[in-house]
Structure 1
Amino acid sequence: MSEMNISGKVVQVLPIQQGTSKAGNPWQKQEFVLEQGGQYPRKVCISLFGDNVAKIPQVGQDVMLSVDIDSREFNGRWYTEIKAWNIVHTGAQPAAPAPQQVATAPAAAPAQPQPAPQAGAADDLPF
């Protein structure tokens, strides 16, 4: 398979997963979500395995990834996974938290609560 590259901004880092293979070898996997720019931004879930987990980028970082795409069948259904094997930080680093300042002016009025999204909204997709 030829080398494939994907670039974008990291928008979420998922918890690390660990276990032991059937052969008794320990394994670890961590996934993160990359948002690709453009008129219609797309989000892609990317996996890192083994020692590559140490290369996990932070939320807000712009990266270019070298990836392999793999599909496998289980019980008549196909599952596809995108596995990164190289990560290059290409630009924006995550913003450092702003230092807390002592308020010298009266406190602002509390923010109005946001209404809860309605059931069946576009964000409630089952996948």
Structure 2
Amino acid sequence: MEIQGKVKKIGETQTFGTGGFRKREIVVTTEEQYPQDLMVEFVQDKTDLLNNYQVGQNVKISINLRGREWTSPQGEVKYFNSIQGWRIEALQSDASSSEMPPMPPNDAFEPVSNLNDEDPDDLPF
């Protein structure tokens, strides 16, 4: 699966336990009718993939959905989901391709002269 959006936040790498488990989180805001802030975690050697990205950048992240069951000390069973990233790539901004060409300066235009002597406000309707 993939998600696309704008980077809202990139966390620092966190290390847990004696085994040195590493995790780093990124928050991406999707660009759709109802934008969503999605937190994606990168683990172990994948944490370094986020080093070249910045807040505000448009990205595409390849993800896996993960789920797990947990039983509390009281015997209550709960379920947790997470979004785990395994690849990230920068997207080109579509704004540059959809923008109009730059407007020439005002002095590049000449005033329009009235070609006939009729009233310039003489509209046909």
TM over 0.5: yes
Tell me how far 1:25 sits from its aligned partner. 2.7
Structure 1 length as normaliser, TM-score? 0.63
In structure 1, distance between residues paired with 2:12 and 2:90: 21
> What are the within-5 Å matches in structure 2 for residues 108-119 of structure 1?
none
Letter in structure 1 aligned against 2:64: D
| Selected match of 2:60 from 60, 64, 73 | 64
> What are the within-5 Å matches in structure 2 for residues 82-97 of structure 1?
82-92=83-93
* Number of equivalent positions: 86
Letter in structure 1 aligned against 2:59: V
In structure 2, distance between residues paired with 1:72 and 1:58: 31
Partner residue of 1:14? 11
Query: Considering only aligned residues, what root-mean-square deviation do their CA atoms show, in Å?
Result: 1.3
Kindly name which structure, 1 or 2, has the bigger radius of gyration based on alpha carbons: 2
Tell me how far 1:66 sits from its aligned partner. 0.8
Letter in structure 2 aligned against 1:44: L
Runs of 4+ in 1 over 2 A off after TM superposition: none
Instruction: Report the 3-state secondary structure (helix = DSSP H, G, I; strand = E; otherwise coil) of the residue aligned with 1:52.
Output: helix
Letter in structure 2 aligned against 1:78: Y
Q: Note if contact 1:5-1:67 (Cα within 8 Å) is conserved in structure 2.
A: yes
Tell me how far 1:35 sits from its aligned partner. 0.4
Residue by residue over 1:40-64, the C-alpha shift from the partner in whole angstroms, topping out at 9 and shown as x without a partner, is 1111000001111111132111111
Q: List gaps (5 residues or longer) in structure 2.
A: 72-76, 94-125
Percent identity at matched positions?
A: 28
Tell me how far 1:72 sits from its aligned partner. 0.5
Pairing 1:46–2:43 present: no
Partner residue of 2:80? 79
Tell me how far 1:74 sits from its aligned partner. 1.1
Tell me how far 1:14 sits from its aligned partner. 2.3
In structure 2, distance between residues paired with 1:60 and 1:91: 12
Instruction: Report the 3-state secondary structure (helix = DSSP H, G, I; strand = E; otherwise coil) of the residue aligned with 2:4.
Output: strand
Which has the larger share of helix? 2
